[in-house]
A and B are shown apart, each in its own frame.
Chain A
Amino acid sequence: MKILVLGLGNPILTDDGVGIYIARELQKRSLPKEVVVEESSLSGFYLMDLLLGYDKAIIIDSVKTKGGKVGEIYSFKPEVFDRSVHLTSVHQTNLPTAMKFGKQMGLKVPKEIIIFAVEIADNQTFSEECTPLVQKAIPRAVRLVEEELLSMARG
């Protein structure tokens, strides 16, 4: 079995890079041998390329929800984004559409994907550092992903 951990974000837009920073921390830990850790700033169909060939995947990203508490960590399945099928731009293809497309094309897409997302404060200022509450969420997120990986690797 092959498991991918994919940290997503833009490391020059303040909190946007949090997924990448979490992935970099995970890279320093001792993880089950099935696990590969990558980082990327891609989305949609570009993302699909990276996921091909894995049985399971964990994606780590940032999120901004209305009334959300900064630093809070959520986990969910990609299907929650299924309603944003409408494209306004080529970059906006959502993950479920990309996955469905991959399956239709007979490509090997992961059977199970879990997304971890950190509620963030600022992704519109150019900076290479997270805001304090988001920074504090990083070690917690690392632990949560590690736990998930152990249960994934077991079964």
Chain B
Amino acid sequence: MKRITIDPVTRLEGHGKIEIFLDEEGEVANAFMQIPEFRGFEKFCEERPAEELPRITPRICGVCPPAHHLASTKACDDLWKVDPPSPAKKLRELFYSAYYFSDHLLAFYYLQGPDFIVGPTAPAAKRNILGVIEKVGLDVGKEVIKHRAYGQKILEMLGGKPIHPTWGIPGGVTKGFTEEERAEVEEMAKSAVEFGKFTLKAIDDIVLKNKEYVDLILSDPYTISSYYMGLVDEHNKVNFYDGDIRVVDPEGKEFAKFKPHEYLNYIEEHVEPWSYLKFPYLKGVGWKGFVGGKDSGVYRVAPLARLNAADGMATPVAQEEYEKFYQTLGGKPVPHTLATNWARVIEMMYAAEHLLELIQDEEITSDNIRIVPTETPTEGVGVVEACRGTLYHHYQTDPDGIITKVNLIVATVNNSAAICMSIKKAAQGVIKKGKVDDGILNMVEMAFRAYDPCFACGTHTLPGQMPLEVNIYNHHQELIQTFKR
């Protein structure tokens, strides 16, 4: 065996790529994003019993397993045409609120936080969670860790291993809460609500009171016009677990509202020769290329889009912040990509409040948590809002429930056209006369990072996840600069 020193950042293969093309003047002419291709998922699923998919599909992603688990479980409900009893639905929603709280917290403090708390052009070595803690203090760091652990703990109490839940089954769930567990979760939920309020105040103090940051959020390089998609409840409030899919146009008017099983009537996928990634768009508007506006079918999903696609939040503190969000950022809808980070924290607040509501619900310790399916399965669609956007699972089976066809639209893929557009716009705004350095590049990546994209996140090969490479080309399309991240 060789004891070697490797430098995986420069030597590993299989990157995500951002490619930036300059014109003769050194201004940005075009920018694209590319990712490695994954093969054979459909074939992998075929000939398996459908009820295995809620355990298999969470493996697609190392970060959003609970989202795949529930989308898949709901697709199975629909496949066997079984409506779970009310306590089972509430437990699933509670489970999902815990996941949202914990995932949004992680994304805010660990991922987007460094850009705003440490500063967008701070040295790369400082722009991480360690830099954040230096700025906000160790005590806050401890609160971050504690509350993230609460979210994980709740997922584990219900679903077993948090990353590979084996809990949702057609018609319900396998386990509920004892009174003792309920009381424990209630304490965690109360604490989560307080921590949510603390985080909103931190945004107010660090970001909103800093004119430079607000101007950055509102600035043109981080603004694109698009449609917005998200799940809403019967009052058009944001819902993560269930409801209708609502789409609003770039002016905020309702364009469509549809049921999960109707999704193919509304969404089509565009294919580009240079990318394995598909580009979904609204069928009723059509694909007009990577352009914004009302005539282009490009839509967005994830926190900012969910807020834009809804009429409000279903809990009081989140609703108050929702109103402040639109007052501060110039009315609805907000087209500013970097506002996603604030939208995420508003959703984190809602997740905490909803968690507390659900754990105090008298049905939550009921043992009526499953209805055994009796119908013959044929076809089922399950939709949830993953943290990173609307997630579609669509299965067809033979009469024995053996999978014959699987179609998934994973959360980030909905955003793929918008991400390319956002990268191009940001690059055009900050790259001038061919000058690119680390700080400038980070300003481009901020547009990318706001979406918290999770392409190819199912692989685990070292250094842990897919590295990103940024290539800059001159007007002869010759590679002139490469940044490895």
Contact = CB atoms under 8 A, between A and B. Distances in A.
B316 interface: no
Nearest to B445: A88
Contact of A64 (B142, B149, B453, B461): B461
B467 A89 contact: no
Given A49-B149, A80-B5, A40 B163 contact: yes
Contacts of B41: 126
A97 B129 contact: yes
The listed residue with most B CB atoms (<10 A of its CB), out of A9, A12, A88, A93, is A88
Contact of A89 (B43, B148, B457, B460): B457
Interface in A113-133: 115, 117, 120, 123-127
A110 interface: no
Contact of A49 (B2, B103, B152, B456): B152
A76 B59 CA distance: 27
B485 A64 contact: no
B461 A88 contact: no
B263 interface: no
Interface stretch (B78-86, B107-115, B320-328, B358-366): B107-115
B14 A105 contact: no
A108 interface: no
Interface in A63-94: 63-66, 72-76, 80-81, 83-94
B454 to A, nearest CB: 6
Interface in B380-412: none
A91 B449 CA distance: 12
Nearest to A86: B485
A90 B63 contact: yes
Contacts, number: 196
Contacts of B12: 63-66
B111 A90 contact: yes
A50 to B, nearest CB: 10
Contact of A13 (B125, B141, B458): B458
A43 interface: yes
A81 B110 contact: no
A45 interface: yes
Given A61-B460, A63-B461, A90-B111, A41 B44 contact: no
Contact of A81 (B39, B145, B149, B462): B462
A84 B467 contact: yes
B271 interface: no
Interface string B1-45: 111111111011110100000000000000000001111110110
B454 A74 contact: no
A127 B142 CA distance: 40
Interface residues of A, number: 58
Contacts of B59: 10-12, 41
Contact of A85 (B7, B125, B141, B458): B125
B110 A90 contact: yes
Nearest to B123: A85
Given A83-B9, A95-B464, A76 B4 contact: yes
Interface string B130-170: 10010000100110010011001000000000011000000
Contact of B465 (A12, A49, A72, A89): A89
A85 B38 contact: no
A125 B399 CA distance: 29
A61 B465 contact: no
A100 interface: yes
A84 B8 CA distance: 8
B448 A88 contact: yes
Contacts of B56: 12
B267 interface: no
A91 B461 contact: no
Contacts of B466: 89, 92
Contact of B460 (A9, A80, A105, A125): A9
B124 interface: yes
Contacts of B145: 105, 107
A92 to B, nearest CB: 5
Contacts of A89: 111, 449, 452-454, 457, 465-466
B273 interface: no
B468 interface: yes
Contacts of A62: 460-462
A120 B107 CA distance: 30
B3 A75 contact: yes
Interface string A124-150: 111100000000000000001000000
A64 B63 CA distance: 21
20 contacts: A41-B62, A64-B13, A65-B12, A66-B12, A80-B5, A86-B485, A89-B111, A89-B465, A90-B63, A91-B464, A94-B464, A95-B464, A101-B129, A117-B462, A124-B36, A124-B38, A124-B39, A126-B38, A126-B41, A144-B1
Given A89-B466, A107-B145, A123-B459, 4 more contacts: A46-B62, A83-B7, A105-B142, A124-B36
Interface of A: 8-13, 16, 19, 40-47, 49, 61-66, 72-76, 80-81, 83-95, 97, 100-101, 104-105, 107, 115, 117, 120, 123-127, 144
